Amino acid sequence: MKYYTEPSREIPVAAETEVLVVGGGPAGFGAALHAARMGRKTMLIEQYGAVGGVATTGIMSHWTGRQDGGCFEELRAKARDCEAEQVINPEKLRILMLDMLMEAGVNVQLYTGFSDVIMEGNRVSGVITESKSGREAILSKMVIDSTGDGDVAARAGVPFEKGRSTDGGMQPMTIMFKVAGVDMDRAMFFWGFEDTVQLPEGDLQTLGRQELPSPAGHILLYPSSLHGVVTVNMSNMTDVDGTNARDLNRAEYVCRKQIPEIIAFLRRHVPGYEGCYLINSADVIGVRETCRFEANYQLNEQDIAQARTFEDWVVTKSNFFFDLHNVEGAGLDANGEYKAFKQPKPYTIPLRCFVPKTVEGILLNGRNISGTHKAHSSYRVMPIVMNMGHAMGIVAAMCVAQNKKPLELDIHEVQDELRRTNVEP
């Protein structure tokens, strides 16, 4: 491989803040909102032109899993006039989430990509960004990595692992899209891989495996907030790494190429979809799994299956099955649990999962926290990561106010503040 030596240059410091949130998805939204509400000078940077991540630019169909209390419950209550139960209206959500951040006093800077970290010894003291304004520095007392992939933590040297322990295989990627022209009086919806229907020509999920272009092959169809419009979660790309730009490009092309064949399949086989047609697709491909970072505790599947309550809990009342998409193809992975998941009780996530062992000045947040491959398939969903952000915003704000490291804080003071903001154990 050839290399180019970039000449050194001075980079302007565009901003100095107390709490810097990198990434404006659901986790970053929760973090920035609550750091600002704690009275700390807070800035959020986001590479795309909207906050909300997969919920908005990814046009996700609905809030998956169950998450009571905290930031998620507040957002859902405020969105009730534009959402039916769990269904997401991405366009109205773009406005609502941005309004909430602005009202809290967050300095939101969109169209700004993370490029590198600024280190002082083993401490992250800021980041370098790239945007239309050029290469700039932002200095901060605490950084919350809400990038999903853990871009900041990786550049800071926090150890990580990817995928399953045997071979690093990660869950597939998907481009969500919407079809209109659906006869809603006859339309069928399929919320899970094990949901199906017997048609004259055969079992629907079996037909999907036989006729859809591999690695697509399952049927997942959800109602939207608009009459006659259905959100489709059926494009699929395996054996790709979301931290590799070339893999992302390959996945984008393959998933988009599958869309016309998926629509033809729906017209051919699924009642109510005979006249459906494409009206919208996500701006970005949905990446389910990449890096999970080393922290002071690794959440595992037994913690979730046993609904464990940790003494240092910061996220509570989370409940979702092991939504492990097939690493090698369509459908549910052999290690996933959908209808077989029998735990009715919610679980908690401890502060230690968010705090790297060897690098200071940074908190993990969202699907990049420390957990096993299987545990990750439960806690990675948007309602849960939004409440992760809620907690990390409070932790970061308290670290700044008290000039302490996260694990030096009095956990009971942290939990008291969480209770004040509608998070109960």
- pLDDT tens digits, residue range 393-409? 999 999 999 999 999 99
Q: Would you state the pLDDT for residue 312?
A: 98
Angle at 99 between CA 97 and CA 103, to 5 degrees: 120
Does the pLDDT value for residue 376 go beyond 70? yes
What distance in Å separates the CA atoms of residue 226 and residue 414, rounded to the nearest whole number? 41
How high is the mean pLDDT of the chain?
A: 97
pTM of the complete model: 0.97
Q: Do 358 and 124 touch, CB atoms closer than 8 A?
A: no
Q: For the segment 181-202, what is each residue's pLDDT rounded down to a tens digit?
A: 999 999 999 999 999 999 999 9
What does the pLDDT look like over 95-123, one tens digit per residue?
999 999 999 999 999 999 999 999 999 99
Q: Is the pLDDT of residue 161 over 90?
A: yes
SS (H, E, C) 17-52: EEEEEECCCHHHHHHHHHHHHCCCCEEEECCCCCCC
Residue type, 413: E
Q: Is the pLDDT of residue 83 over 80?
A: no
CA pair distance 105, 85, nearest whole angstrom:
29
Question: What is the gyration radius of the CA atoms in the chain, in angstroms?
Answer: 21
| C-beta contacts of 111-120 below 8 A and 24+ residues apart | 111/46, 111/47, 111/48, 111/49, 112/45, 112/46, 112/47, 113/47, 114/22, 114/23, 114/45, 114/47, 114/147, 114/151, 114/152, 116/155, 117/152, 117/155, 117/156, 119/156
pLDDT at 255: 98
Placement of tokens 């901003």 in the chain:
15
pLDDT band with cut points at 50, 70 and 90 for residue 80? confident
Beta bridge partners of 28: none
